């Protein structure tokens, strides 16, 4: 029975494989005018994939879980989640959302360029409306936002999130104040203004990939406007970066960040390929991997020690190692999330979480967002946006209907902190034993794919789930001990 399901699932898998490649190509090599038909083909394949999944629904319904092993139970769990979504959410709503979000993206771009929220407002209202309908269709306990959170982080709830932020926020405030008053970590570094030659920086990034020992026969790096990682198959995982010509940290850390995502996908047990569990388990766990590599490893003194000779040689740097370390760890409250350091980053997420939760609950109207955004910025970050472009309009996510996604960024930080607490990662970095780091992550997280729900996986491997205290301890150790 399960065998039949897995054999039939290969069709959906193959469609997913094609969609993954089409998405990657869209952002990397597709000629500009190719987008119209790429959009058409993508919509058709999404429908075909949905149909293939729904053909399995009755068989999946009849499966008796008690007779299954963990892997098999995982397969059925993941399939049931997807089937539940398709049964609950009318196809028309998803189609309307797809149409709406592609228009909304254009409206949002214009609104942000002109810093006029009202251009985006009518689209956002419709999107919030549809997301609330989706939450109602899916059903939930306690809070409608739970239905949306669950789509990105299975089983994660408003109660969980409230607990996370209520312990995280005061701690972050204290840590930030201490860092700023000590003055050791700069709020600006001259290297932020340094320009670089793109061809030279490509070579630096290539060396970084060598240092991380990424497996070239299954991995590649390309350029795209927004860095991302795409799994095409167990043996084909690709990342991208971008080159802005200044502040070389940005492109370098996006390479390390995306490599963290890629290592996860590459280390999922190969026997899970072509099954529903052959993928990362959740956005939060995925983000923990990218942030573990980017922040905990990449911004450490130990890592600076390894890459310093390389940076000096290629970029002709006039600073010593400790200065590079400071450049990598500038801490300053700022208005733009994507430029935020690892201390203030979660303050940005808190703003979005508050707003999303109240919007989806129907407690907040869309036109009330901008003043609330600005008030929350002042409350958490101590600065107030001068306009909507550096406030409510800065992120693309809402134009794409991604409500419930932002909190997983904070979960990524928290989980990375949990791993840091359990594993002497910086010692391994000092010894350049990156393969031992990968091995640890493989055994604790990667190899399981989506077999266990994220809370179960984390509890099995670390004895705890979404507990922010380790992340706070990490920040204290790193920023307040020197």
Active site residues: 258
Smallest separation (angstroms) from a copy of itself to the CB of 405: 27
Calpha distance 440→374 (Å, rounded): 42
Smallest separation (angstroms) from a copy of itself to the CB of 39: 10
What element of type H or E holds 128?
Answer: helix 117-138
Structure tokens at 320: 């010593």
261 among annotated binding-site residues: yes
Residue 114 or 273: the one with the smaller Cβ distance to a copy of itself is 273
Calpha distance 482→479 (Å, rounded): 7
Residue 112 or 238: the one with the smaller Cβ distance to a copy of itself is 238
Calpha distance 3→159 (Å, rounded): 38
Residue 19 or 396: the one with the smaller Cβ distance to a copy of itself is 19
List, edge to edge, every strand of the sheet that includes 219-223: 219-223, 236-241, 229-233
Q: 85: Cβ–Cβ under 8 A, 6 or more apart, which residues?
A: 138, 151
Residues interacting with a copy of itself, by CB under 8 A?
Answer: 10-11, 13-15, 17-19, 21-22, 25, 29-34, 36-38, 40-42, 44-45, 47-48, 216-220, 222, 232-236, 238, 273-274
Calpha distance 162→139 (Å, rounded): 20
Q: 347: Cβ–Cβ under 8 A, 6 or more apart, which residues?
A: 169, 172, 333, 340, 380, 381
**How far does CA 401 lie from the centroid of its chain?**
15
Smallest separation (angstroms) from a copy of itself to the CB of 44: 3
Residue 32 or 181: the one with the smaller Cβ distance to a copy of itself is 32
Q: Is the separation of the CB atoms in 4 and 59 below 8 Å?
A: yes
154 among annotated binding-site residues: no
Long-range contacts of 95-98, Cβ-Cβ distance < 8 Å, separation of 24 or more: 96/130, 97/127, 97/130, 97/134, 97/401, 98/43
Calpha distance 53→320 (Å, rounded): 56
Smallest separation (angstroms) from a copy of itself to the CB of 7: 11
Smallest separation (angstroms) from a copy of itself to the CB of 315: 23
287 among annotated binding-site residues: yes
Structure tokens at 461: 């491997």
Please give the annotated binding residues for Zn(2+), written as ranges.
257, 261, 287
Please give the annotated binding residues, written as ranges.
257, 261, 287
């Amino acid at each position: 029975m399960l065998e039949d399901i897995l054999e039939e699932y290969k069709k959906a898998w193959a469609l997913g494989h094609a969609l993954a490649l089409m998405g990657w190509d869209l952002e990397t090599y597709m000629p500009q005018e190719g987008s119209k038909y790429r959009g058409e083909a993508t919509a058709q394949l999404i429908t075909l994939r949905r149909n293939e999944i729904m053909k399995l629904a009755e068989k999946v319904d009849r499966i008796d879980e008690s007779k299954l092993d963990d892997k098999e139970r995982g397969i059925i769990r993941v399939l049931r989640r997807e089937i539940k979504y398709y049964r609950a959410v009318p196809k028309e709503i998803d189609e309307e959302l797809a149409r709406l979000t592609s228009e909304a993206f254009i409206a949002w771009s214009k609104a942000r360029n002109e810093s006029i929220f009202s251009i985006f407002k009518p689209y956002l209202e419709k999107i919030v409306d549809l997301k609330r309908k989706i939450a109602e269709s899916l059903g939930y306990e306690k809070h409608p936002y739970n239905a949306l959170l669950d789509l990105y982080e299975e089983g994660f709830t408003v109660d969980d999130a409230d607990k996370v932020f209520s312990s995280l926020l005061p701690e972050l405030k204290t840590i930030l104040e201490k860092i700023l008053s000590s003055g050791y970590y700069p709020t600006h570094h001259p290297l932020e203004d340094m320009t670089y030659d793109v061809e030279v920086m490509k070579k630096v990034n290539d060396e970084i990939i060598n240092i991380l020992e990424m497996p070239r026969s299954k991995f590649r790096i390309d350029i795209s406007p927004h860095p991302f990682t795409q799994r095409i198959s167990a043996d084909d995982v690709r990342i991208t970066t971008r080159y802005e010509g200044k502040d070389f940290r940005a492109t370098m850390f996006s390479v390390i960040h995306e490599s963290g995502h890629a290592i996860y996908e590459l280390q999922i047990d190969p026997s899970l390929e072509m099954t529903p569990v052959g993928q990362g388990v959740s956005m939060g766990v995925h983000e923990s991997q990218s942030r573990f590599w980017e922040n905990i490893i990449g911004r450490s003194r130990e890592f600076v020690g390894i890459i310093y000779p390389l940076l000096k040689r290629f970029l002709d740097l006039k600073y010593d190692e400790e200065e590079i370390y400071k450049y990598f760890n500038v801490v300053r409250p700022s208005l733009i999330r994507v430029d935020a350091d690892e201390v203030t980053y979660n303050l940005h997420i808190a703003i979005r979480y508050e707003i999303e939760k109240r919007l989806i609950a129907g407690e907040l109207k869309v036109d009330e967002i901008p003043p609330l955004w600005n008030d929350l910025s002042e409350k958490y970050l101590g600065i107030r946006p001068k306009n909507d472009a550096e406030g409510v309009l800065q992120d693309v996510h809402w134009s794409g209907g991604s409500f419930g996604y932002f909190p997983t960024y904070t979960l990524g930080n928290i989980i990375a902190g949990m791993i840091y607490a359990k594993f002497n990662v910086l010692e391994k970095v000092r010894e350049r034993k990156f393969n031992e780091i990968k091995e640890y992550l493989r055994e604790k997280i990667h190899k399981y794919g989506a077999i266990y729900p994220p809370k179960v996986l984390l509890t099995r491997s670390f004895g705890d789930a979404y507990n922010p205290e380790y992340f706070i301890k990490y920040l204290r150790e790193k920023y307040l001990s020197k």
